[in-house]
Amino acid sequence: MRLPLNSILLAATAALTLSATPLQAATEEAQGKLPLDELRTFADVYNQIRIGYVEEIDDSTLLEYAIQGMLMGLDPHSVYMNKDDFSALQEGTSGEFSGLGLEVGIQDGYITIISPIDGSPAAAANLQSGDVILKLDNAPVQGMTLNEAIELMRGPKGSEIELTIGRAGESQPFSVTLVRDTIKVASVRGRWLEPGYGYIRIAQFQLDTGEDVEKALDKLLKEGKLKGLILDLRNNPGGVLSASVNVAGLFLNGGPVVYTEGRLPNSDMHFNAQPGDITDGAPIVVLINAGSASASEIVAGALQDRGRAVVMGSTSFGKGSVQTILPLSESRAIKLTTARYFTPNGRSIQAEGIVPDILVERAQVTAYDNAGQITEADLSGHLGNSSAESDAKKTRASSARIAAELLASDNQLYEALALLKGINILGLRDRRAAGEATPTVQ
């Protein structure tokens, strides 16, 4: 049976009319001009597939394929979502789901890892941002939709899946077997690196991330005076926009954080911070890398543009687009890119990313062994020192030990801490030169 062209034209007209809500409406001019020749071609192709394809495909499945194809041709983040996909999206923003713990996207036709989630099977297997997934359980991934690949990677807790990975710099692909687990994303972790220097790690921007960062900072501030803070956004794939605005707002005394621009009037939005800096102006270093995307880039870009933080690490992922969930029915929706993000100074993040103020690539660093060097303290008959200076020496030795551990395990974090200390030392010297009473910093 041939599908009437008029039915397809009528459906297209109805779709344009029904989509004319305040969020989705196109202009009246665009609604009034349907590409009739292209729709006839679509109807002809649709009918040829219905009657001639080697296997019979029902109309609803074929139309879903057509919708998926339209969205795939737009950009990597516009996708068709069935009921399971929508549930998975809600799970991701709530912070708990079952799977491998990977944030993925499509790049050059391949499923590419944006970042592994802290504490997940993917992170434990040392999968990295930029890795390309070539096969899932020996099934080639090229040509799959993003949703199809995600569906294969999800599964019951305890079940295994083999991933074939291509990595830049590796001559041959390699395989890893991961065991699916319940992924509980600890959105925020905080600790002291050493007295006075705090560390906040944000793994993902969930609904309550802003509140969680505030609680972590309150806990640190109750335990001691904050001389400097490192905000670690490396391998953070982003998440909820409002959470990124709330986090940036904790360190900004009001003013712009981010704005969006799109074709529709209601896509143009401005987001501002609330007055009050929770750290009272303490120096901040923000760490980013190629796995820092979307909401992470909003925070880094806002603090960089507003002169509130030094951004360190490597250039971020470059996802500067806004996706809107548009329901089609109770069980289906599309995620459509509707706008672009811009930093307070008007920089577009899209495909450019945030370029750090200080470039520090992740590297394995080995400290030079100076154990054989002789100092004054090794000389026979050397003069002694006061107990107070001896205590200071112990404090410096403790700091040196912490620094050595960081240098061996995380050179970027080591450099961030060193920068904070340098900023503090210069600040103290400036205040001393001005005649202010200042405590001694070790």
* Catalytically annotated residue among 187, 292, 294, 321: 294
Q: Is 232 designated active site?
A: no
Q: Would you give the DSSP letter of residue 425?
A: H
Length of the chain equals: 442
Q: Is 159 designated active site?
A: no
Residue 270 burial (CB count, 10 A): 11
Contacts of 49 (CB under 8 A, 6+ apart): 57, 62
Q: Do residues 45 and 291 touch, judged by C-beta distance below 8 A?
A: no
Kindly calculate the radius of gyration of the chain based on its CA atoms and give it in whole angstroms. Answer: 27
Residue 182 burial (CB count, 10 A): 12
Residue 414 burial (CB count, 10 A): 20
* Burial grade of 343 (CB within 10 A; 0-12, 13-18, 19 or more): buried
Nearest one of 185, 31, 19 to 100, comparing CA atoms: 185
* Catalytically annotated residue among 181, 296, 305, 314: 305
Q: Is 319 designated active site?
A: yes
Cα 42 to its chain centre, rounded Å, is: 38
* Catalytically annotated residue among 319, 321, 335, 421: 319
What is d(CA 348, CA 352) in angstroms, rounded to the nearest whole number?
7
Active-site residues: which are they? Answer: 294, 305, 319
